[in-house]
Chains A and B, each alone.
Chain A
Amino acid sequence: MTAYLKLDHIDKIFTRGAATTEVLKDINLTIEKGQYVSIIGHSGCGKSTLLNIIAGLTGATTGGVLLENREVNSPGPDRAVVFQNHSLLPWLTVYENVKLGVDKVFSKTKTRAERDAWVMHNLNLVQMAHARDKRPNEISGGMKQRVGIARALAMEPKVLLLDEPFGALDALTRAHLQDSVMALHQKLGNTILMITHDVDEAVLLSDRIVMMTNGPSARIGEVLEVPLARPRKRLELATNTTYLKCRQRVLEFLYERHRFVEAA
C-alpha cells in the first residue's frame, strides 16, 4: 500500500486557561491515491478537528500530516476544503467565487482566457454553469454546495477534504448531490477524505470507512473496507448483502460499542 496522505501519530490537546482537553489521541491513517475515505463518529468526537488539522487550519499538538511524503502544516490549495455551510462569499457571484481560487492557484501557469475556461469547466462539472452570474443568496442550498465543490475542485487539490458536505441539505437534495460526488470521483479519480455522521452515506460513497471512538481522547476505533464495485447504484445497493453487512458493521460500532453518551 502506497501512502499518499499519511496521518502520523496525531494528538490534539486544546488548552483554555488551566484546563486542557485531549481531543484526539494517536491518530494514524494512510490513504492511497484515488481512494475515497470517510471518517465517521458521533458529534463532538473530533472529526472536524481532525479535518482542520489535515487542512492545516489547526495545528496538531504532536504528530503531523504527510502528503506525498512531505509534511504539510499550513493551509493550501493542495488540500481544498468543501465546508459544511458552503462558505461562499456572498458579495461575489458564483463565477467569481470559483475564480478566486483559480486566479490564485494558476496565476502563473494559465493565461486569463485559460483560467476563465477552467472556471466554466468546473462549474459545468457540477452543473452550475447556468448560474454563473448569480449571487449565493439567489441559489438554493444544494446549488451553493455544488458551487463549493466546484471551487474546491477547480484548485486541482491533491486531496479533496469534505467537511460534512451534505449535512445541511434535505434528504432528496442530499441523495442527488451524493450521486454527483460519486460521479465526479469516478470521472476525475480524486483522493477524497470526507467527514460524515451518516452511515448510509459513508457506506455508499467510501472505499474505506474510518470509525472514531467518542471523545475526549478520540481514537480510530476501526477501519472498514467497503468492497463494493464502482460505479455504485443507490437502488441496487439497497438489497446488496455486502452493502448491508458493511452498514451493519458501522451501525454496531456506533450504537453498541461506542454509544454516544450525552455530556460524557
Chain B
Amino acid sequence: MNMPATKIEVETATPAASAAPVVAMTPKRPPRSEAYARMARETAVRVIPPLVVIALLTLVWELVCRRAGSALPPPSKVFKDTKELILDPFFDHGGIDKGLFWHLSASLQRVALGYSLSAIAGIALGVLVGQSVWAMRGLDPLFQVLRTIPPLAWLPLSLAAFRDGQPSAIFVIFITSIWPIIINTAVGIRNIPQDYRNVAAVVQLNPLEFFSKIMIPAAAPYIFTGLRIGIGLSWLAIVAAEMLIGGVGIGFFIWDAWNSSHISEIILALFYVGIVGFVLDRLIAGLGKFVTRGTATS
C-alpha cells in the first residue's frame, strides 16, 4: 500500500527541484535570439520552396522562349521592356497613359464599390431567405438560375440600362459576387442551432438584438465563406468587364497592351492581377478569422 505513494512523491519532487531554477532563467535572455532563430527557420521553410519552384519555372520559360521566332517573350525581355512600368508605377501622362498603380487603383475602386454593395445586399437577402421559409421558396429557384449566368453576359444589359461604362462595371461586379454571399448566408442562418434560438427566446431578445447578437455571430463563419468566394469572383469579373468598357483600369490596360502588341506589358499586368487577387482573398480570410475567432463550435 505504501509503495506507490512514496514512489509518486519521489517522482514529483525531483523534477520540481531541478526544474525550478531553469524555469526562472528561461524567460529572461536566451529565448529572444532563440525565438528569432526559430522564426527565421520557420519562415525559411515556408518561403524557400516556392522561391525554388519560381526560379525553376522562370528558367524553363527563359529557355523555351529564348529561341528566335518565339511568340512569347522570355522573362529577361519582359523585364527589360517593362522596366519603366515597374520602376515608376505612379506616372500620369493624361488619358489612359498612366502608371500601373493608377490602373490597379481604378479597378480596385470599382471592385470596392460593387463588392460592398453586394456584401450588404447579399447578407440582407441571405438573412431573409435563411429566416423565412416563404422567402426561400419564392426566391431560391430564382437565385439558382441567375447565379449560373456568366458575369460578362450581364454587361450588355447593364450598359443598356445605365448608358455608361462605370456604373455598368460596378453592376457586373455586384451581380457576380452577390450569389455566393446570399447562398452561404442563408445556409448559415438556417444552421443556427435551436439552442441559441431558445436562449434568445428565454432572454427575450427583440428581433434587432437577435439579429445582431445571435444571428450574425452564429452565421459569421458561413457568411465569410460567401464573402471570400465573392471577392474572388468580383476580381475575376472586373478584368473581363474592363476589357470591354475601356477607360482606366487594369483590364483595359491588358487589352490596350494587346492591341499595341506589347506582350511584355500583358505579362507584367497578369502578374499584378494575380498578386492583387491573392491579397484581396487573404484580406477577407484574415478579416473572417478575426471576426469569428471564438466561433468554433464547442
Contact = CB atoms under 8 A, between A and B. Distances in A.
Interface stretch (B37-45, B49-57, B198-206): B198-206
Contacts of A56: 201
A83 B205 CA distance: 18
A257 interface: no
Contacts of A136: 298
Contacts of A74: 201
B203 A104 contact: yes
Interface in A84-123: 85, 87-92, 100-101, 104-105
Contacts of B196: 87, 89
Nearest to A144: B298
Interface residues of A, number: 27
Contact of A83 (B198, B204, B220): B198
Interface residues of B, number: 22
Contacts of A77: 202-204
B296 interface: yes
Given A87-B198, A89-B217, A76 B297 contact: no
Interface in B214-232: 214, 217-218, 220
A186 interface: no
Contacts of A90: 294-298
Highest count of chain B CB atoms <10 Å: which of A87, A105, A135: A87
B219 to A, nearest CB: 11
B204 A91 contact: no
Per DSSP, chain B at the interface is helix
Contacts of B116: none
A83 B197 CA distance: 12
B204 A87 contact: no
Contacts of A89: 196, 199, 213-214, 217-218
A57 interface: yes
B217 A80 contact: no
B217 A91 contact: yes
B34 interface: no
Contact of A137 (B204, B214, B296): B296
B213 A100 contact: yes
A135 B294 contact: yes
A105 B294 CA distance: 25
A137 B195 CA distance: 16
B298 A137 contact: yes
A74 B202 CA distance: 9
Contacts of A137: 294, 296, 298
Contacts of B220: 91
A81 B201 CA distance: 10
Contacts of A100: 199, 203, 213
Interface in A176-217: none
Interface string B174-216: 0000000000000000000101101101111100010001100
A87 B199 contact: yes
Interface in A117-137: 135-137
B292 interface: yes
Contact of B198 (A81, A91, A101): A81
Given A90-B296, A135-B294, A136-B298, A101 B203 contact: yes
Given A100-B203, A105-B203, 11 more contacts: A76-B204, A81-B198, A87-B195, A91-B217, A91-B218, A91-B294, A100-B213, A101-B202, A137-B296, A137-B298, A144-B298
Query: Which 3 residue pairs spanning A and B have beta carbons closest together?
Result: A137-B298, A87-B195, A75-B201
